[in-house]
Chain A
Amino acid sequence: MTVAVQITHKQGDFTLDVAFDAPEGLTVLFGRSGSGKTSVINAIAGLLHPDAGRIAIGGHVLQDSARGLWLPPHKRRIGYVFQDARLFPHLSVRQNLTYGHRFSATKAAIDPVVEMLGLGDLLNRRPAALSGGEKQRVAIGRALLSGPELILADEPLAALDEARKDDILPYFERLRDEVGIPIVYVSHAAGEVARLATTVVVMDQGRVRQMGPAGEVLSDPSVTPVGVREAGAMIEARVGAHSDDGLSDLLIGDLVVTIPNCSRQIGDLVRLRIAAQDVMIATQAPQGISALNVLPATIKSIRMGDGPGAMVQMEVGGATLLSRITRRSVQTLGLTAGQKVFAVLKAVSVAR
């Protein structure tokens, strides 16, 4: 089921003018704060009434200003996970979870959701007695149990510390992979996008700058919505082998990258995030170098930045990699599109 969104809205000096399709899976609205991401999902939820537009989930039209149609939030069948959880303080966890259940046409079973989110021990507690991560898990469960056709999440991890983020991220992966309800997820964190996104919609100043499959958009050197420091490619790799010294070999096409701390099973598909500033370029195979991962690559394009930096896009084993180097290095090495080089990876991590 595809979610089709086309809206225009004026709010003071700010104009929102977006159109995109969110296919199956998890679509991230990616952009810096103030780019209009939250306004877009509030419009999908009906919490914001846009001046004009059309929003539909499959054949279910939520708004069509041409026909004067606009459904209020409670008629939309949308599960919204807010940044600040927004659990009802006067209800227990169980009552929070079942709040939307009575309105749900499909009446999803409660137990599997409780189990999936690990909420069994929390059911009789009040929200005030929960940690931030637990609150967010309950909020996810509450949204799921309202029988939604679409789940919206507005930076659901932004209020959590790093350790808690790692706790919650897997639940969104499971939502994406197991539940089969489309998800529209707002984020400004590149790592989160690399890990979760099926589709990325890049937003900037109320407009869609680019959209497409996650791997494609994230490795596009012209798209750095949250700054070049955060730019980096997302590459899917398969776990090949674990070694005794704590390193694991992962396969990208027929190339091998070696990374530490990979706890996945052999054969699993994992998403690697390789930040552009962690990739060096060598024109000859480097000798006597400490980096474990030196991969043959072909330069696809070079994009000179406004400052001293340049972004080089390379093809590596069928995947696309970004490298952020200086313009001076581009000139000194005489790099050009099509050239065969070696990509030296200083750091590779499983996306998180």
Chain B
Amino acid sequence: MTDWLSPAEWQAVSLSLRVAFWATVLSLPIGIFTAYALARWSFVGKQVLNGIVHLPLVLPPVVTGYLLLLTFGRRGPVGEFLEQTFGIVVAFRWTGAVLAAAIMAFPLMVRAIRLSIEAVDPKLEEAASTLGASRAWVFMTVTLPLILPGILAGSILAFAKAMGEFGATITFVSNIPGQTQTLPSAIYAFLQVPGGEASALRLVIIAVIIAMGALLLSEVVSKRIAARVSA
């Protein structure tokens, strides 16, 4: 693999995988919580929350990236706080790429999980509570197992979206080889220089393979889970 890919190309692939992995894993708990809140609770500002969650889906990605820069940049309110309090800097770092990818992928993840939560009959949860299970236990033993296919679908979607995220990432963390140059940024960069087409093509092939692999994996796993949950 390393023979076939140049170090720069390999870096871009491994960085993208790392970014997509962490973006998916870190946003999953928040995604499940948000999806549950939107599906099951009624509270003031529910429509506002729904709007904010879906905003990255409809905003130009560059706008999202710029807003991230304004907020999480070293002089942005949150960025400054993070740096002074914890010494964490996300702008122009790979961790910033994780943040950008997570935010861009979040609406897809929440939608998939929310749909699966809405498909769970609340009567089953009522039944569990009459049997002595607390709310948290009901969620862990009834709701969560029943929405596993939705969680998986949402995670795969989010992973694929995070792999391919370009606009917000390049605006927020730029395109620094070895640090913030993800697979799409690398393809874009190779296409800008003469003789870069071959590198770009190799990365395109890898992007297609990863995407197809993810889709196939999700099909197989979700079928297994669905069979276990319903039959």
Contact at A88–B142, with CB atoms within 8 Å? yes
Residue numbers of B with Cβ under 8 A of A are: 121, 123-124, 126-135, 137-138, 141-142, 145-146, 228-231
Contact at B132–A104, with CB atoms within 8 Å? yes
Residue numbers of A with Cβ under 8 A of B are: 45-47, 72-80, 82, 84, 86, 88-90, 99-100, 102-104, 126, 128-129, 142-143, 146-147
Q: Once bound together, how far apart are the Cα atoms of A86 and B135, in whole Å?
A: 17
Residues of A within 8 A of B228 (CB): 90
Residues of A within 8 A of B141 (CB): 99
Min CB distance A22 to B, Å, is 17
Contact at B229–A90, with CB atoms within 8 Å? yes
Q: Once bound together, how far apart are the Cα atoms of A129 and B230, in whole Å?
A: 10
Contact at B124–A88, with CB atoms within 8 Å? yes
Contact at B130–A84, with CB atoms within 8 Å? no
Residues of A within 8 A of B132 (CB): 74-75, 77, 100, 102-104, 146-147
Contact of A86 among B127, B133, B134, B229 (CB under 8 A): B127
Contact of A80 among B121, B127, B230 (CB under 8 A): B127
Contact at B131–A103, with CB atoms within 8 Å? yes
Min CB distance B228 to A, Å, is 7
Residues of A within 8 A of B133 (CB): 74, 99-100, 103
Residues of B within 8 A of A74 (CB): 129-135, 137-138
Contact at A90–B146, with CB atoms within 8 Å? yes
Contact of B229 among A78, A82, A84, A89 (CB under 8 A): A89
What is the chain B residue whose CB lies nearest that of A146?
Answer: B131
Other A-B pairs, 18, CB within 8 Å; known A45-B130, A89-B124 = A74-B129, A74-B130, A74-B135, A76-B130, A86-B126, A88-B124, A88-B142, A90-B228, A90-B229, A90-B230, A99-B128, A99-B131, A103-B131, A103-B132, A103-B133, A142-B131, A143-B130, A146-B131
Q: A82-B123, A89-B230, A126-B231 are in contact. Are A47 and B145 (CB under 8 A)?
A: no
Q: Once bound together, how far apart are the Cα atoms of A79 and B129, in whole Å?
A: 10
Contact at A79–B229, with CB atoms within 8 Å? no
Min CB distance B226 to A, Å, is 10
Residues of B within 8 A of A89 (CB): 124, 146, 229-230
Min CB distance A317 to B, Å, is 44
Q: Once bound together, how far apart are the Cα atoms of A126 and B138, in whole Å?
A: 19
Contact at A73–B142, with CB atoms within 8 Å? no
What is the chain B residue whose CB lies nearest that of A102?
Answer: B132
Interface of A is mostly: loop
A selection of 11 A-B contacts at a CB cut-off of 8 Å is: A46-B129, A74-B131, A84-B123, A86-B121, A86-B126, A86-B127, A99-B131, A99-B133, A128-B230, A143-B131, A146-B132
Closest 7 A-B residue pairs measured CB to CB? A103-B132, A100-B131, A86-B127, A80-B130, A73-B129, A90-B229, A146-B131
Contact of B126 among A47, A77, A90, A142 (CB under 8 A): A47
Min CB distance A78 to B, Å, is 6
Contact at A79–B230, with CB atoms within 8 Å? no
Contact at A86–B123, with CB atoms within 8 Å? yes
Contact at A129–B231, with CB atoms within 8 Å? yes
Q: Once bound together, how far apart are the Cα atoms of A75 and B133, in whole Å?
A: 8
Q: Once bound together, how far apart are the Cα atoms of A135 and B94, in whole Å?
A: 54
Contact of B130 among A79, A102, A104, A129 (CB under 8 A): A79
Q: Which of B126, B132, B138, B230 has the most CB of A within 10 A?
A: B132
Min CB distance B70 to A, Å, is 45
Contact of B145 among A73, A76, A90, A99 (CB under 8 A): A90
What is the chain A residue whose CB lies nearest that of B228?
Answer: A90
Min CB distance B68 to A, Å, is 39
Contact at B142–A47, with CB atoms within 8 Å? no
Min CB distance B221 to A, Å, is 15
Q: Once bound together, how far apart are the Cα atoms of A79 and B132, in whole Å?
A: 9
Q: Once bound together, how far apart are the Cα atoms of A102 and B133, in whole Å?
A: 9
Q: Once bound together, how far apart are the Cα atoms of A45 and B132, in whole Å?
A: 11
Residues of B within 8 A of A103 (CB): 131-133
What is the chain B residue whose CB lies nearest that of A47?
Answer: B126
Q: Once bound together, how far apart are the Cα atoms of A128 and B230, in whole Å?
A: 7
Residues of B within 8 A of A78 (CB): 130
Residues of A within 8 A of B129 (CB): 46-47, 72-74
Q: Once bound together, how far apart are the Cα atoms of A46 and B141, in whole Å?
A: 20
Contact at A128–B231, with CB atoms within 8 Å? yes
Min CB distance A90 to B, Å, is 4
Residues of A within 8 A of B231 (CB): 126, 128-129
What is the chain A residue whose CB lies nearest that of B225?
Answer: A90
Residues of B within 8 A of A80 (CB): 127, 130
What is the chain B residue whose CB lies nearest that of A76?
Answer: B130
Q: Which of A75, A89, A142, A143 has the most CB of B within 10 A?
A: A89
Min CB distance B181 to A, Å, is 43
What is the chain A residue whose CB lies nearest that of B134?
Answer: A74
Residues of A within 8 A of B124 (CB): 86, 88-89
Contact at B130–A47, with CB atoms within 8 Å? yes
Q: Once bound together, how far apart are the Cα atoms of A253 and B168, in whole Å?
A: 90
What is the chain B residue whose CB lies nearest that of A125?
Answer: B231
Q: Once bound together, how far apart are the Cα atoms of A100 and B145, in whole Å?
A: 17
